[in-house]
Structure formats: C-alpha cells, structure tokens
Amino acid sequence: MVTLRKIASIVKGKLIGAPGQLIHGVSDIRNGVPETITFLLNPKHTKLVEQTAASAVIVNDSTLLAGKNGIVVESPRLAMSKVLKIFESKDHQPIGIHPTAIVYESVKIGEKVCIGAMAMIGKNAQIGKGSIIHNSVTIGENVVLGDNVEIHAQVAVFSNVKIGNNVIIDMGTIVGSSGFGYETADGIHHKIPQIGSVVIADNVEIGANCTIDRGTITDTVIGEGTKIDNLVQVAHNVKIGKGCLIAAQTGISGSVDIGDFCIFAGQVGVNNGIKIGARSIFIGQTGVTKSLLGGKIYSGMPVREVGETNQRDAAYLKIKSLEKRLKNIEEQFAK
C-alpha cells in the first residue's frame, strides 16, 4: 500500500488531487478497481478517465483529470512500467543455497546469491552477486554469470557460456545447445562438433523455451540490451547487435550478423549467413532471404521493403482493371 504522493515521486510526475490517497494495486482503465491506480494508454479510452472506479489515473494531459485524482507524465506507458514494479510480487527465493541444490566446491559464488532447489551448478562456474537461480536449473561447467542475473526455473545453460549483468532468462530456455552443422559425405551426415560458446551481454532478456546455439569455433553473441521473446531460435555463430527486439517464434539461421536496434515481429525467418543493417524492422512472418542495408521496414517472402511488398499485393486489383480495359479494346476492335 503506497500513497499517490509516493507514486508521483517514483514516476516523476505532477500530482493532481489528494496526495494521501492510498493505492494498493493497479487495474485496467476499462475495469477500474477502487484504491488502485490505472493508466490512460489508448486515446480511445479518454472518456474512461472520469468514469473509471480506479482511485487515480496516470495521464499525459492534465485537462483530462477534472475532479479526478491523478498524475500527469509525458509517457503514461513508461510510468506504468515503474508503477508495476512497485506491485510486482517476486517469488520469494531465500538468499543462500537450497540444501537440495548440487553445487561443486570449485564454484565461485558472490554475495546475496540465491540458488533454488534441485539446481545443478557445474564445476568452476561463477555466479555474480545478487543473482537468482531458480529451482531445477542446469548451469554447466565454467559458465560465468554476472551480477543481478535471474535464471528462471528449468533453464539449461551449457558449459562455458558467458552471461553479463542484469540478464534475465525465462523458464525452459536452452542456452548453448549444439549448432545444426553437418558435413555430408557418401550419404552420411557427419556432425561438425561445436566447440564455440555463447556470450550474452549486459541487460539482455530472453523469454521462455528459446534455443540459443553455441558457436562452431567462435561464439554466438547477443548484444547489450537486446530483448528476445519466447520460442525464438538463435543458431550457431549468430551475432546480434545492441538494443534489438525479437518477437516470438522468430528463427535466425547460422552465422547471421544483425546490426543494432533491429526489430523482428513474430515468426520472422532469416537465412544462413545474411547481414542485416542496423535499425531494420521486419513485419511478422517475413522471410529474410538476402542481406539488407537496414534503416527500413521490410516484409514478405522473399523479403522486400514494405512498400514494394504492398504494391505487389495490390497488383491483383490492377489485373482486374487491365482485363476490363483489354475487353473494351477487343470489343471496339471487333466492330
């Protein structure tokens, strides 16, 4: 339970109304609950600011708050991310090592680390201070985890992987699986051993049930601040730049090189060995068949700039008009 005053100070906004209003949670503006705070995120819901049963609203325009408690900020969405943090209930992992966890003597563990039940920490691994390893996690030999890392339940991290600070890996994800590399001779696919590893930079977040393959000789690399959704495949030797957003079920094939601040909507596929320039944006289900300079929005399979893909889609209507015009000519000609 916090006061509206406290929330205003956390989101650095201008308080309007009763500073002492108690807030014990958050609700949706379409379904506001008394003694909670809500957010105007969608202009379609402007009328709900007055109507909602929530006790306060965060808006970006003070004139909307006539008679209502609230806080005015530039970005209600950014404010929401801060307010939700107040009310987030973390799983209460006690600091220390659960008696059922298996931790080799050679493991180096920083201060205030939590290691959950039935976790398995391999030889010579290092775990930075404040990191949380949930239950039933596998951490391979020689893995290095930075500070304030959170590894959720049932994740497996293969030997030698390096993970930076403030990284979050959600449940069920695999880091360091073997790349899909074979050399075929006489009809037999010979496995190419994958002796590289994975390097994950600071502030990276990876969703649930993803697969991040280790490199063949060098490492697979995920750049600082990149965020990855669920069920994403990152193949061996891929390099991903900084600040990328990669939505669910996207697949990045081997040795792809992705620049900074690229955005992939869901189910995008990227071919082997392609180079993607910075600030590329891909519409869902795009099939990235060739290297791209970046800085544009792309879509379609094979990939094209979105405007071109849309023109091609519209060409169907053009065929109809062409047929009409041709018929007209044919008729005139027949006279």
Which residues are known to be catalytic? 236
Considering only 17, 19, 110, 266, the residue that binds a copy of itself (CB under 8 A) is: 266
Per CB under 8 A, 313 contacts a copy of itself: yes
Q: x/- string (CB under 8 A) for a copy of itself, residues 166-205?
A: --x-xxx-x--xx-xxxx-x-xxxxxxxxx---------x
Q: Cα 238 to the chain's mean position, in Å?
A: 17
Per CB under 8 A, 329 contacts a copy of itself: yes
Containing H/E element for 82?
helix 76-87
Please give the single-letter amino acid code of residue 191: K
Per CB under 8 A, 1 contacts a copy of itself: no
CB nearer to a copy of itself: give 19 or 224: 224
Per CB under 8 A, 123 contacts a copy of itself: yes
Per CB under 8 A, 318 contacts a copy of itself: yes
Please give the single-letter amino acid code of residue 253: S
Give the other-Cβ count within 10 Å of 128's Cβ.
21
CB-based contacts of 81: which residues, under 8 Å, 6+ apart?
none
Instruction: Tell me the window of 9-17, 59-67, 107-115, 149-157 that interacts with a copy of itself (CB under 8 A).
Output: 149-157
Considering only 18, 22, 293, 301, the residue that binds a copy of itself (CB under 8 A) is: 301
Q: Cα 244 to the chain's mean position, in Å?
A: 8
Residue matched to tokens 């500073």:
19
117 is written with which tokens? 């039940």
Residue 218 and residue 119: Cα distance in Å, rounded? 28
CB of 193 to a copy of itself, least distance (A): 4
CB of 330 to a copy of itself, least distance (A): 6
Per CB under 8 A, 27 contacts a copy of itself: yes
Report 150-169 residues binding a copy of itself (CB under 8 A).
152-154, 156, 158-160, 168
Query: What are the strands of the beta sheet with 257-258, ordered from one edge?
Result: 108-109, 126-127, 144-145, 162-163, 198-200, 220-222, 239-240, 257-258, 275-276
Strands 211-213 and 174-177, how do they pair? Answer: parallel
CB of 56 to a copy of itself, least distance (A): 14
Per CB under 8 A, 218 contacts a copy of itself: yes
Report 32-71 residues binding a copy of itself (CB under 8 A).
none
29 is written with which tokens? 């503006």
Instruction: Tell me the window of 3-11, 64-72, 106-114, 208-216 that interacts with a copy of itself (CB under 8 A).
Output: 208-216
